[in-house]
Amino acid sequence: MKKSQVFSAALAALALCFSVHAAPLPAPGKSAAATGSAAPELDVAAWPQGKPVKLADLKGKKFVVLFFWTLSEQGTKFFPDVARLSKEFEKKDVVFLGVGIDSAESIREFVRLKELPFPVAADDRLNSVNLYMRERDRVPMAAVIDKEGRLVWRGSPAVLEAALNEITTGKYNLKQNIEREIFSQSVMDAMKIRDYPTVLKLLNAELVTYPDNMELISLKTRLLATLLNQPDEALEFLNENIKRDPKNLKLHEMGVIVLRDEERWSDLTKWFDRIIKEFADQPILLVKFAQQEMNQPVEQLRLENAYKLCRAAYNAPKFKNDREKGFIIGEYARSLYYCGRPDKALEVSKEAMVLLKGTPEFEKAKSFVTYYNKVLVISRQIQ
């Protein structure tokens, strides 16, 4: 599995520690099976759909995917994807089984149940959930059992296809996945007791092995800037990475977030100067940064940044086509208007309107020309 996918699964729990909107989950038992161990037999209340299935009967014959879900919008969001995968991987000796964590009656009466083309069990007592779900797992969740009967993978159904492709072709690195889980659990244990220096030490150790992993870099940056309240160290860390990879946009974006959160406006202006220098040939990118600035609350709005970014985009060495150039010029006009120059905004927006003629954006560009003209006329009438 690709490193990014491995870390996505292993570090998801740590990312949740930075969020106040962590999704609820059933209370898992302490006896959840370890990755690489023998998969526990299902202990369910009933089988609302299909005939009962025993995992022991599939050992040595089939790969098994357990799809844990619940009767909610979030809990059923992966129904179409899982149904598709069950059909696509059937020819690769993969059997899918659903495990709903609601009552047998409610599952049996659920109007969307037939979307799942495989047997579905009811586990409202959470006996099976507690055997498979670790503390950091969330429903909906998928678990994969190999032909030897080992529990080899757990994670979001969003990345199930990538995992199955590797598991069924023998390319899956179980040892590496277990190492990632141990790392993730160590981090979670330290986070629970707010031992942030230990979390930092763990991240640093992983970065020695995976120095370019963006999830590790992002987590370390956030840890330093927020939980450890060390924004200067976070910025220094980002600068070290930018020096090695100056065209890495995500690194620059992280710096913007840190500086904005710290309200270090003068430093943010200098940071944007670096972005303009590194990405002068990407006008759309520069305008996106400008739009973010112009959409800030009034007390955080820094017009000099928006104007500087839009002007750099306007002066880009080349554009994809006239439509792109027209869009860029239109945003430059908006920044000029925000800066109190409706006369310049009108002048520039006329350029945008000409370039956008014959495109879906033409009427909007035309309306801005009319608007800026009205503002200019009214402003000159005010004594």
Query: What local confidence, expressed as pLDDT, does residue 29 receive?
Result: 45
How far apart are the C-alpha atoms of 141 and 242, rounded to whole Å?
Answer: 36
Query: What local confidence, expressed as pLDDT, does residue 352 receive?
Result: 96
Q: Domain 195-381, CATH 1.25.40.10 — does that match?
A: yes
Domain ranges across the chain: 3-178, 195-381
128 burial level (CB within 10 Å; 0-12, 13-18, 19+):
buried
303 burial level (CB within 10 Å; 0-12, 13-18, 19+):
middle
Does residue 205 carry a pLDDT above 90? yes
Question: Is there a shared CATH topology between the 3-178 domain and the 195-381 domain?
Answer: no
Summarised one tens digit per residue, pLDDT across range 217-245 is 999 999 999 999 999 999 999 999 999 99
How far apart are the C-alpha atoms of 69 and 14, rounded to whole Å?
Answer: 22
pTM to 2 decimal places: 0.73
Mean pLDDT of 247-276: 96
Query: What local confidence, expressed as pLDDT, does residue 149 receive?
Result: 96
How far apart are the C-alpha atoms of 279 and 273, rounded to whole Å?
Answer: 10
Query: What local confidence, expressed as pLDDT, does residue 15 receive?
Result: 55
Summarised one tens digit per residue, pLDDT across range 31-70 is 789 999 999 999 999 999 999 999 999 999 999 999 999 9
Does residue 26 carry a pLDDT above 80? no
Does residue 296 carry a pLDDT above 90? no
Query: What local confidence, expressed as pLDDT, does residue 184 receive?
Result: 85
Does residue 16 carry a pLDDT above 60? no
Q: What is the mean pLDDT of the chain?
A: 91
Summarised one tens digit per residue, pLDDT across range 331-360 is 999 999 999 999 999 999 999 999 999 999
Please provide the CATH number assigned to the domain covering 3-178.
3.40.30.10
Summarised one tens digit per residue, pLDDT across range 72-87 is 999 999 999 999 999 9
Does residue 153 carry a pLDDT above 90? yes
Summarised one tens digit per residue, pLDDT across range 272-285 is 999 999 999 999 99
Q: What is the 3-state secondary structure (H, E, C) of the chain?
A: CCHHHHHHHHCHHHHHCCCCCCCCCCCCCCCCCCCCCECCCCCCCEEEECCCCCHHHHCCCCEEEEEEECCCCCCCCCHHHHHHHHHHCHHHCEEEEEEECCCHHHHHCCCCHHHCCCCEEECCCCHHHHHHCCCCCCCCEEEEECCCCEEEEEECHHHHHHHHHHHHCCCCCHHHHHHHHHHHHHHHHHHHCCCHHHHHHHHHHHHHHCCCCHHHHHHHHHHHHHHCCCHHHHHHHHHHHHHHCCCCHHHHHHHHHHHHHCCCHHHHHHHHHHHHHHCCCCHHHHHHHHHHHHCCCHHHCCHHHHHHHHHHHHCCCCCCCHHHHHHHHHHHHHHHHHCCCHHHHHHHHHHHHHHCCCCCCHHHHHHHHHHHHHHHHHHHHCC
Does residue 314 carry a pLDDT above 60? yes
Query: Which residue do the tokens 């970014």 mark?
Result: 309
Query: What local confidence, expressed as pLDDT, does residue 10 receive?
Result: 45
62 burial level (CB within 10 Å; 0-12, 13-18, 19+):
middle
Query: What local confidence, expressed as pLDDT, does residue 2 receive?
Result: 43
Query: What local confidence, expressed as pLDDT, does residue 233 receive?
Result: 98
- Higher-confidence residue of 315 and 192: namely 315
Percent of the chain predicted with pLDDT > 90:
83
Query: What local confidence, expressed as pLDDT, does residue 181 receive?
Result: 86
